Structure 1
């Protein structure tokens, strides 16, 4: 019988691996402005109100609507994602940016701009937890 010294750490590693998908080989995510991110996903950006630490905009392509968010620092991006995850949804996370959308959208964008797909909390209230 194999005994793990830190069973919680093992469980966390398994759950983390199950809740994220790494970028395809060869696609290296890099920091991008909101405009660069929109161009990389193939949309005409509709900017929304921003703040010093973040800028947000919405996009629509043949795959549907989605939201882009760029951040001034990595810390601001991590803080935003930590606050957003309890609301559910799926996120494509890159350095200083996040895309909020559906799984098919995010997989397509991941091939273009890199990043890691991260799932928010799955709410058992009848919703899939995949989208805002």
Structure 2
């Protein structure tokens, strides 16, 4: 069975929240995230766990930046097509900045950062 896990990026603090200290509620009006002290987190982004770990055993989430060992490229993990985790990178080799997409399980991956703290690794 697939493990369903999330991480929450708090843009007010520029950190990932410790999930043991937050409450996520979903109702007919949407989703709200609270800290255990009742404080609402208004500016956030949720990343889902891919159910894949990198070569060092680190859990990979959407928004992570990984290095592909087989092709020596750096790319980001995105959620696409409703349920498929993909690697996305820009190919500037021919000057066309074309985006490429591949499934995560096709490569050996090593996490090198995330899009919040290390977006410079993608360019």
TM-score bucket (shorter structure): under 0.3
Question: Which structure dedicates a bigger proportion of its chain to helix?
Answer: 1
Under a length normalisation based on structure 1, what TM-score does the superposition of the two structures give?
0.24
Q: Identify which of structures 1 and 2 has the higher relative contact order when contacts are C-alpha pairs closer than 8 Å and 6+ apart.
A: 1
Under a length normalisation based on structure 2, what TM-score does the superposition of the two structures give?
0.25
